[in-house]
Structure 1
Amino acid sequence: MTDTEAVPGTDAGDGDDGLTGHGGEHAVAAFRAHGIDTMFTLSGGHVFPVYDGAVKAAEPLRILDVRHEQSAVFAAEATAKLTRRPGLAVLTAGPGVTNGVSAVTTAHMNGSPLLVFGGRAPAFRWGSGALQELDHPPLLAPVTKRAATVHETERIAADVSDALTLAATPHRGPVFLDVPMDVLFDRGSAPAPVPARIAPVAPDPDAIDAAAALLADARHPVLVLGHDVWMGGAEDAARRAAETTGIPVVANGMGRGILPRGHELLASRARAAALGRADVVVVVGAPLDFRLGYGVFGGRDGTPPARVVHLTDGPGQSAPGGGAPAVSVRADLALALDALVEAWARKAAPRAYRDWSAEVQGAARTAYQSDRALLDAGGDSIHPVRVYGELLRVLDDDAVVIGDGGDFVSYAGKYVEPARPGGWLDPGPYGCLGTGLGYAIGARLARPAAQIVLLLGDGAAGFSLMDVDTLVRHRLPVVMIVGNNGIWGLEKHPMRSLYGYDVAADLAPGTRYDEVVRALGGAGETVAAPDGIAPALARAFASDVPYLVNVLTDPEAVYPRSTNGV
């Protein structure tokens, strides 16, 4: 069984008049056919025909130019994450493409649908040392679903259409195509692209029945909802599954918000306790990687390891470190979740997990109460948690919160719980710093009426803050909050613990990142005392411009970290 099936008769050109023009016009026609309305790019001569095609199209494509190619790819990925349709980045040849590789890798690790369309040195000069000549596909192949070169103008539209379909096919991910400069400038005729429909795949009934049997016999089950639940449009099915069964829920990545903050089954604040005592863990739409203890749960207080049921939308989503799950189901996640609940309900006496759920909720309430002092902390220095105490008071339910950083954003992951699905963006398992400004650009376009809040560590800010210029030029208001402790917190404290000293872990204390933003045409201010946070946030949200609140936080505050990944 394959993950998708193309509907017969939907190959490029069926029933259409076709295309005539240069290669850039062919590419833009394919972009438009797949619902893409914006390309993120940094200008380069190798891809000029794509810009020309975008400007002259019957429905012009928005060209949003950035200051670094990685921001273009990150912006395209944010668009993909929030719209659940492929994003598009157009990069010029050579260093234009290689500057985007870390961002492509991030999208690959996140399973985000994305097309990176690259320029390429001319085919007729290949091998003679043309400007920015590089064979890109071998570099991109390990971190994409496909990496290829289009060698004929007449093939551009069809190959771009196929690439976008592949990117959107579960398990989703980035695809890379480059086109030689002479091929892209050349003219030709070709059939107009008509996207293939991606048909959902039904789950194996036997696997579903085996999973339901494990669940029906469980006493301490936990449901883990991951990124692909949102990306696959399975958020309603996931909420139904939780509320029908009464199983406590832990959310990861864009699984956050599927159960809104305050939901009685949301166990994120008691994550370690719930997963530590679990006897069956149903992981949906997330790989069994380090974030989930490599799939090893249970074992607390001498209990045996939990049995794992793993629901994925495609192959290659299981990390090998923890061993094979007891049951694996690969299918459309909404269909799989509904089938699992139906099979669970058919068991002789579906178990109610009220006592277990009450125990987990008690642990969550205890954790919340113990944290109240930090959320409201005063004193001479600013604990990072106090920033989130103030932010939570002013966040709208439809806000998009973006995290780009180490310790500072780790606190956000613990304390900022979205009210709705699709309200949280972070770098994901690859852990690449520098996602922030690109994600903010894409988020502002995808959610034009929502609050967009970018949380930056001061280390992370150094990777992409210049793209505030992009926000300003394109009139994209975003509220940025920098947790400025003057150190690389994820490195300084662990190195001290291991060796008794640290090196290369200090930044300039009190750096005025807000002045950088003002110099680029935005606004901002520095906050040095706890009672200054709330009024600064009020000014930021009221400003309607890119606004950075530079909060000087306590460098001795250390985020507590688990040693087992859960």
Structure 2
Amino acid sequence: YLRNYIRNLFAGAWEPQDLSPLPIHVPQATQEEVQRCAELLSRARKPLVLLGSQAMLPPTTPAQLCSALESLGIPCYLGGASRGLLPPESPILLRQNRRDALRDADLVLLAGAVCDFRLSYGRLFNRGAAIVAVNRDREQLLKNSDVFWKPRLAVQGDVASFVVRLAQSLSGFSCPREWGEQLREAERRREKEIRDKATVPAPPHLNPLDLLLCLDQLLPQNCILVADGGDFVATAAYILRPRQPLAWLDPGPFGTLGVGGGFALGAKLCRPDAEVWVLYGDGSLGYSLMEFDTFVRHKTPVIALVGNDACWSQIAREQVALLGSNVACGLAYLGNGTFGTSWHLLAPGLG
């Protein structure tokens, strides 16, 4: 019985297999769709671009996409893997007040961004705004449409090449200066609020805003940031600035905790000269903590920063308000007590 089972399990295992790459079909927008978007954009007074991870897929390079966005000059919010596409000092890069900007915008280009819970299923859009959605996948393209939002133009095609072609068709386009200045002024006010909050003491612990602002000043140009956490990572996402394209890796829209160790290992092996940082929450750390043994054995040094507040705070914040209990969310400060669990001692213990 067992021999038959093994024989069936490995049947054909030694027969030659075709290992050539599978053909990849990349849908492309039609010229009519590009032109239709160009017409809508040319009439807009308050346009906005929301870029998603899908925009970073080949064949268009990040440099080509960055050049196209800067040529258009439209204010941009970058999400997911697209963080870092624009340099931190870019005048069109926005990180704060996205909800307010969407409320005021009269045209929104969803360039790979998906209208799910992150955009409140479309409820954040100005009711009169023209929404142009571009996505390779039709299901993601029209996600939650006809409920709280409806695209004026829905394009099933490659995001990055669409933006490049759009910029080429609008070579003389200039985004209204007043709109950009309005958003940048709101950005400056919000950044000041964050800096002010960072000065508030939090004895005997650290103010996480102050910690992350200090880290942002120290990060080198060649750093790669790996985010693996909830509350701490959510804070880091609006403070830390990736220095270059494809230098931010996070758990994705559903917050799939535990990716930190694997992402860091892969990043360091692909870019051995990069300084790789992992931003852990003290809950998510437990999922890939043992990978420090892997880092040592494979000589792939990374730096881990643990935001330790002895709590699953992102869950507790809503759970306590809804249910009146922090059960299964509250952790404890162990080790030296006052200053938290001594996570740093585990690294030398693993080599």
Do they superpose with TM above 0.5? Answer: yes
Query: In 1, are the aligned partners of 2:26 and 2:136 still within 8 Å (CA)?
Result: no
What does 1:296-307 correspond to in 2, within 5 Å?
Answer: 296-299=123-126, 304-307=127-130
Letter in 1 for 2:186: A
2:228–2:250 CA contact under 8 A, matched in 1: yes
Distance 1:477 1:377 in 2: 34
Instruction: State the one-letter code of the partner of 1:222.
Output: L
Tell me which moved more, 469-478 or 312-321: 312-321
The residue type paired with residue 402 of structure 1 is V
Q: Which residue of 1 aligns with 2:259?
A: 435
Please point out which of 263, 271, 281 is paired with 2:90: 263
For 1:236 and 1:411, the matched residues in 2 are separated by 28
State the partner residue of 1:340: 166
Bigger Rg over Cα: 1
Alignment of 1:125 onto 2:34: no
Structure 2 residue identity aligned to 1:482: V
Distance in structure 2 (CA, Å) of the matches to 1:284 and 1:430: 20
Q: 1:36-56 CA deviation, whole Å, 9 max, x = no partner? A: xxxxxxxxxxxxxxxxxxxxx
Say how many residue pairs are matched. Answer: 339
> Secondary structure at 1:486's aligned position in 2?
coil
Residue 119 (structure 2) aligned to one of 288, 292, 298: 292
Give percent identity, aligned residues only: 32
- Please, which of 205, 220, 227 is the counterpart of residue 31 of structure 2? 205
Give matches, 1:115-154, under 5 Å: 124-125=4-5
- Within-5 A mapping of 1:161-310: 180-184=9-13, 187-189=14-16, 193-195=19-21, 198=24, 200-232=26-58, 233-299=60-126, 304-310=127-133
* 2:237 corresponds to: 413
Aligned residue in 2 for 1:519: 349
Q: Conserved in 2, the CA contact under 8 Å of 1:224 and 1:284?
A: yes
Q: Distance in 1 between matches of 2:200 and 2:220?
A: 23
Is the Cα contact below 8 Å between 2:53 and 2:112 reproduced in 1? yes
Structure 1 residues 295 and 424, CA gap change in structure 2 (3 angstroms): same
Code of the residue aligned with 1:511 in structure 2: it is T
Residue 327 of structure 2 corresponds to: 503
Give the secondary-structure state (helix, strand or coil) at the position aligned to 1:503.
Answer: coil
Whole-Å Cα distance in 2 between the matches of residues 506 and 352 of structure 1?
49
Structure 2 unmatched runs, 5+: 334-339
Following TM superposition, by how much is the alpha carbon of 1:196 offset from its aligned partner in structure 2, in angstroms? Answer: 5.4
The counterpart of 1:355, out of the listed 158, 173, 178, is 178
Aligned to 2:303: 479
- Equivalents in 1 of 2:16, 2:249: separation in Å? 41
CA distance in 2, matches of 1:394, 1:486: 26
Alignment of 1:19-38 (within 5 A): none
Paired with 2:148 and 2:12, the residues of 1 have a C-alpha distance of 48
Q: Does the Cα contact within 8 Å between 1:213 and 1:344 map onto a contact in 2? A: no
Q: Does the 8 Å CA contact 1:222/1:247 hold for their aligned counterparts?
A: yes
| Aligned partners of 2:134 and 2:158 also within 8 Å | no
CA separation of 1:451/1:374 partners in 2, compared to 1, >3 Å: closer, same or farther? farther
- Contact 1:405 1:457 (8 Å CA) reproduced: yes
Distance in 1, Cα, partners of 2:104 & 2:197: 27
Residues 463-474 of structure 1 correspond to what in structure 2 (within 5 A)? 463-474=287-298
How far, CA to CA, are the matches of 1:443 and 1:332 in structure 2? 25
Q: Secondary structure at the match of 1:403?
A: strand
Which of 255, 263, 269 aligns to 1:445? It is 269
Residue deviations 1:253-291, cap 9 Å, x none?
A: 111111111211111123222122111100112222222
Contact 2:69 2:163 in 1 (8 A): no
For 2:63, the aligned partner's letter is D
Q: Distance in 1 between matches of 2:227 and 2:22?
A: 35
CA distance in 2, matches of 1:461, 1:352: 44
For the aligned residue pairs, the C-alpha RMSD in angstroms reads: 2.4
CA distance in 1 between counterparts of 2:186 and 2:123 reads 21
2:156 aligned to which of 286, 311, 330: 330
1:132-190: per-residue Cα shift (whole Å, max 9, x none)? xxxxxxxxxxxxxxxxxxx9xxxxxxxxxxxxxxxxxxxxxxxxxxxx44543xx3345
Determine the C-alpha separation between the residues in 1 that align with 2:67 and 2:46.
Answer: 19
Task: State the 1:333 CA deviation.
Answer: 2.6
Aligned to 1:365: 188
The normalised TM-score by structure 2 is: 0.88
CA contact (8 A) 2:77 2:94 kept: yes
CA distance in 1, matches of 2:261, 2:319: 29
Report SS of the residue matched to 1:311: strand
Q: Which residue type is aligned with residue 333 of structure 1?
A: V
Q: For 2:97, what is the secondary structure of its paired residue?
A: helix
1:205-238 C-alpha deviation (Å, 9 max, x unpaired): 2222221221111111101111011123453343
Identify if the C-alpha distance between structure 1 residues 341 and 298 changes in structure 2 by more than 3 Å, giving closer, same or farther.
same
